[in-house]
């Protein structure tokens, strides 16, 4: 307790710096993932991607980010075991933030789309198992999280495959693809609005005091879906066929229609990402602030201060603006060639999977989910459409992430312990 009283302000300052650095890494690596399909398919420009990210990442974090933040903050380790030595939890969470941030910086430099969730979960498990005790880790919760890393990309891949096949059957393989695109794309826009609204309302808004039952949530979601459909139809009115461009590429005019749809799916993906991944940066930060503000008490329930979410959001946007272009290139163009129709299927599949997981409090990997979805679209076009060398590099970087986060966290944990204890 003396250490908490003596260095409390220093710990909070370090937590803010490390938390911002970690959020910067999330922005540079993970938001770049979320926006990669939209920018890679040339549906939106990098500037538009940044504006969408600023608005919808914040909205996702604030409206639907609470459940995952709880898991990162106190679902992985047992805070009760640290009641006698609360400073150990502080060291561990600081070490986890810095370790994950360093690994993300390295991965982003090489353009690897790694998982920020892997980084932070690996770091927390590493410091707790080695620095505290193996019993301090909720291994059943960790097993569930690890299982979700396999299930989420497979699920997103299957959904993306099905969505892109429906696009091929209803639009691309027909006599008049442009007319059919204008007919069916509004329905896909409705689907985007409905899915994101439904999952957010049923799973994510308890902490805002909104307790809707399933029927009420469905009704509101249908209305939101209809509103997005109407906005989409108004935007589609201005899209005209371009016979000149169609001569060069048969589906050029059709892809312009899907470009409008990609705007909606980019917003959905940013919202889904904010709801799940802002927790990676602010969960450990909230844990440190909670312990310090309670004078060293660990087990009590703490509210999530709004300034912490804002700090996380600001870091995410800064990372995307300053360094996000490298990973955008890998996800958007290097795995498989993306057009707006392909990008839409991948993005909507990933967004739906992530928002569902956020509502249940599972910190899944947005990266794995999106790459799984892009692979699903690639497979729908035939295996030759995939750049298997890039896919192989991505898989290897995923395998390295967990142990890298854990080893770095253990080293930093003992350094902090040596400095302050």
Look at 357 and 92; give whichever has higher pLDDT: 92
Dump pLDDT digits (tens) for 376-391: 888 887 666 677 777 7
Dump pLDDT digits (tens) for 278-297: 777 788 888 888 888 877 77
Question: How far apart are alpha carbons 143 and 226 in whole angstroms?
Answer: 39
Q: Which candidate, 316, 364, 384, places its Cα nearest to that of 26?
A: 316
Question: How far apart are alpha carbons 119 and 107 in whole angstroms?
Answer: 11
∠ CA 160-161-162, nearest 5°, is 90
What pLDDT score was predicted for residue 143? Answer: 83
pLDDT tier at 186, thresholds 50, 70, 90: very high
How many Å is the maximal CA-CA distance in the chain?
A: 76
213's torsion region: left (phi>0), alpha (psi -120 to 50) or beta?
A: beta
Residue 261 · residue 340 · CB < 8 Å:
yes
154 Cβ contact partners less than 8 Å away, ≥ 6 residues apart: 372
What pLDDT score was predicted for residue 413? Answer: 94
Question: How far apart are alpha carbons 411 and 400 in whole angstroms?
Answer: 17
DSSP state of 274: H
Hey, is 114 helix, strand or coil?
A: coil
Residue 1 · residue 86 · CB < 8 Å:
yes
Mean pLDDT lowest among 93-97, 187-191, 253-257: 253-257
Q: Which candidate, 316, 272, 279, places its Cα nearest to that of 31?
A: 316
What pLDDT score was predicted for residue 83? Answer: 76
pLDDT at 30 over 80: no
pLDDT, the chain, mean: 81
What pLDDT score was predicted for residue 183? Answer: 92
Mean pLDDT lowest among 76-90, 185-199, 201-215, 352-366: 201-215
Question: How far apart are alpha carbons 142 and 156 in whole angstroms?
Answer: 21
> Can you give the pTM of this predicted structure?
0.80
Question: How far apart are alpha carbons 331 and 324 in whole angstroms?
Answer: 11
Residue environment code for 259-270, b if the CB has 16+ CB neighbours within 10 A, otherwise e: bbbbbbbbbbbb
Residue 188 · residue 381 · CB < 8 Å:
no
Stretch 36-65: mean pLDDT, rounded?
Answer: 78
Mean pLDDT lowest among 200-214, 248-262, 355-369: 200-214
Residue 8 · residue 291 · CB < 8 Å:
no
278 Cβ contact partners less than 8 Å away, ≥ 6 residues apart: 23, 26, 57, 60, 61, 65, 69, 309, 312, 313, 316
pLDDT at 91 over 90: yes
């Amino acid at each position: 307790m003396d250490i908490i009283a003596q260095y409390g302000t220093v710990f909070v300052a370090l937590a803010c710096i490390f938390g911002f650095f970690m959020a910067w890494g999330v922005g540079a690596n993970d938001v770049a993932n979320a926006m990669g399909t939209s920018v890679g398919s040339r549906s939106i420009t990098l500037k538009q991607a940044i504006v969408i990210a600023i608005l919808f990442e914040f909205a996702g974090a604030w409206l639907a980010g609470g459940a995952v933040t709880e898991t990162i903050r106190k679902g992985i380790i047992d805070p009760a075991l640290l009641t006698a030595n609360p400073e150990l939890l502080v060291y561990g969470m600081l070490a986890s933030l810095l370790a994950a941030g360093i690994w993300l910086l390295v991965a982003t430099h090489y353009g690897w789309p790694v998982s920020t969730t892997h980084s932070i979960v690996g770091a927390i498990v590493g410091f707790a198992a080695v620095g505290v005790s193996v019993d301090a880790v909720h291994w059943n919760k960790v097993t569930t999280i690890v299982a979700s890393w396999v299930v989420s990309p497979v699920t997103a891949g299957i959904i993306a495959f099905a969505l892109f096949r429906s696009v091929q059957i209803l639009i691309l393989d027909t006599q008049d693809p442009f007319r059919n695109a204008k007919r069916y794309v509004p329905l896909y826009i409705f689907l985007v609005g409905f899915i994101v609204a439904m999952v957010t309302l049923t799973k994510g808004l308890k902490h805002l005091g909104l307790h809707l039952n399933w029927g009420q949530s469905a009704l509101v979601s249908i209305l939101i879906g209809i509103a997005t459909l109407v906005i989409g139809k108004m935007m589609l009115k201005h899209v005209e066929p371009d016979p000149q461009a169609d001569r060069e590429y048969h589906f050029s005019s059709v892809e312009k229609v899907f470009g409008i749809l990609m705007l909606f799916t980019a917003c959905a993906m940013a919202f889904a990402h904010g709801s799940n991944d802002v927790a990676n940066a602010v969960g450990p930060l909230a844990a440190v602030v909670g312990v310090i503000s309670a004078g060293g008490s660990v087990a009590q329930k703490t509210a999530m201060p709004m300034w912490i979410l804002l700090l996380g959001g600001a870091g995410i946007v800064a990372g995307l603006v300053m360094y996000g272009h490298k990973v955008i290139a890998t996800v958007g163009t290097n795995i498989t060639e993306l057009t707006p129709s392909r990008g839409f299927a991948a993005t909507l599949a990933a967004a739906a999977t992530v928002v569902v997981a956020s509502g249940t409090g599972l910190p899944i990997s947005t990266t794995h989910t999106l790459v799984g979805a892009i692979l699903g679209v690639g497979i729908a076009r035939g295996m030759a459409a995939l750049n298997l060398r890039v896919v192989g590099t991505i898989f290897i970087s995923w395998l390295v992430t967990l142990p890298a986060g854990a080893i770095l966290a253990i080293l930093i944990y003992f350094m902090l312990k040596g400095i302050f204890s």
